[in-house]
Amino acid sequence: MSKNPILEEILNEVDKHPEIMSRRDAMKYLTMSPMAASILAGATVGATTTAASDVKGKIVIVGGGLAGMSTAARLTNTLSNPDITVIEPDPLSVSYQPGQTLVGAGIWDKSDIQYNRDDFVPNGVKLIKGSVTAFDPDNNTVTVDGKDVIKYDQMIVATGLMLNFGAIKGLEGEITSAGENSVVKNCGVTKNGLHSIYFQDGAEATWKGIEELVAKAKAHKGPNKLQAVFTHPNTPIKCGGAPKKIMYLTHARLEEAGVRDKVELTFYPNGSAMFGVPEYHEAILQQFKDRGFKWNYAHNLIEVDPVKKVAVFDKHWKEKGAFDEDLEEYVMVTKHERVEVPYDFMHVTPPMKAPDVVGNSAVGSDKGWVPVKKETLQHVKYKNVWCLGDVAAVPMGKTGGSVRKQYKVVVDNMIATMEGKSSLPSEYAGYTVCPFITSIGTVMLAEFNWTKKPTPSFPLDPTQERWIWWLLKVYALKPMTIHGMLSGRA
């Protein structure tokens, strides 16, 4: 039997640290967990999937990132006579975005997460290197670069989202993770202590910023601590754990340098909890306490002065207003207070939104995201339109772990529709996995779904930080994505 190279790499790392874990225990964790076992199985390309349907139709996929290319690959594996077109302008669209956190902490290089779009176009799939500038779902067409009209029988929207730095006063620009970003960098992000791991160049600069913070802490002699600030905005975001992950990793680098006591680390989330799943919220809260972190709920970043290094937050809360005689209850009124916070280092998680071309079109919605039936991922109005990934209006679904479940549902249901079946065979239950990095060496593997309850794939306390999940994160998840999902098999 041939060896799994990713599993062997993990076990070799385990062998270097017998004081932490034995190879036998590592094998138990990795093979008895359905999630871990499936990741390892998907980390190398498996056998070719046998074509299952002879149905024909022109399929257009708008977006050639992880969601779009994985779906194109799975459709190619499943259809006998596929007619698939992917429309994507960005040559680095399939970059491994979850790795940006590791780049920001100096564990990986930016080159470790960059992949060329053209290397992952499935055989037989047509690639249009352009941008959709108009959607016309009533006539089953999209327009590319303002001139070329493309017809379709079925359309999949997988555009991803925009990082809306411009929604914060003092900053500018709407960018993607790997696209042109000079407008954001020119306004001050990536220098003078202001950073963001949410785009590739920003992740690389974040590591330099952490190194600068460490050096500044080593030279610091004053009685007051340096201030490191981390934010979480008032919009849905991709990888909801990342704003805290980079905080944990900054803490780890400061501890490693022996200067943690000279820096105050404070988290400013717009919401009122650390995580949407209560059990994980409680675990993270205890981790914050154990590490001496501070936090201020209900603070939304609204302004930054990159020169003076001052962040401005909208602190908000509810108070009783007038008494409603008819409802026999008090009207709750939202109050606001402007809070200015000087910083030495700040990690900004930008507000996020759907691309305007999607949000302002007939396939979008008032909130911008594409409205779909959350179980089937079929558009609520247009039955031949499907959506997955970051741009889909589904709860808690903006992660690669979500896409790994979603793209199979889209393929199954779209083919069933093309075959004229009256019911859709697959449902997405909202499963998401967040490898929540808590240090350089530990991960809390947060698995959950729409029930907002932990759904661990192994009979262990899922709120505990474990080294084995760090090894899974660092060694297995990227090859699972690049060789598994993008081949349509993981």
Identity (one letter) of the amino acid at 476? A
Unique residue bearing structure tokens 């500038």 = 133
pLDDT at 41: 76
Statement: the pTM of the whole predicted model exceeds 0.75: yes
* Selected catalytic residue, list 203, 210, 239, 357: 239
Contacts 24+ apart (CB under 8 A), 428-432: 428/374, 428/375, 428/376, 428/377, 428/394, 429/375, 429/405, 430/374, 430/394, 430/395, 430/396, 430/397, 430/402, 431/401, 431/402, 431/405, 431/455, 432/396, 432/397, 432/399, 432/401, 432/402
pLDDT at 281: 97
Classify 174 as helix, strand or coil. Answer: strand
pLDDT in tens, 329-377: 888 899 999 999 999 999 999 999 999 999 999 999 999 999 999 999 9
| Angle made by CA atoms 296, 238, 288, in degrees to the nearest 5 | 30
Residues of the chain with pLDDT under 70: 1-2, 44-51
Token pair recorded at residue 443: 């991960």
- Count the Cβ atoms, other than its own, within 10 Å of residue 315: 15
**Beta strands at 294-295 and 263-269: parallel, antiparallel or unpaired:** parallel
CB-based burial, 51-89: b 16+ in 10 Å, e otherwise: eebebebebbbbbbbbbbbbbbbbbbbbbeebbbbbbbb
Contact in structure between 201 and 186 (CB atoms under 8 Å): no
Cα–Cα distances in angstroms (integers) from residue 208 to residues 105, 204, 248, 253, 310, in the given order:
9, 7, 16, 12, 20
pLDDT at 49: 52
Token pair recorded at residue 280: 């994980």
Token pair recorded at residue 18: 């017998």
* Selected catalytic residue, list 434, 440, 446, 477: 434
| Nearest Cα to Cα of residue 188 among 172, 212, 167 | 172
> Checking phi first, is residue 159 left (phi over 0); if not, alpha (psi -120 to 50) or beta?
alpha
Domains of the chain: 41-161+355-430+474-487 (3.50.50.60), 163-353 (3.50.50.100)
pLDDT at 369: 98
The DSSP result for 227-272, as a single string, is EEEEEE-SS--SSTTHHHHHHHHHHHHHHHTT-GGGEEEEEEESSS
Check if 187 is active-site: no
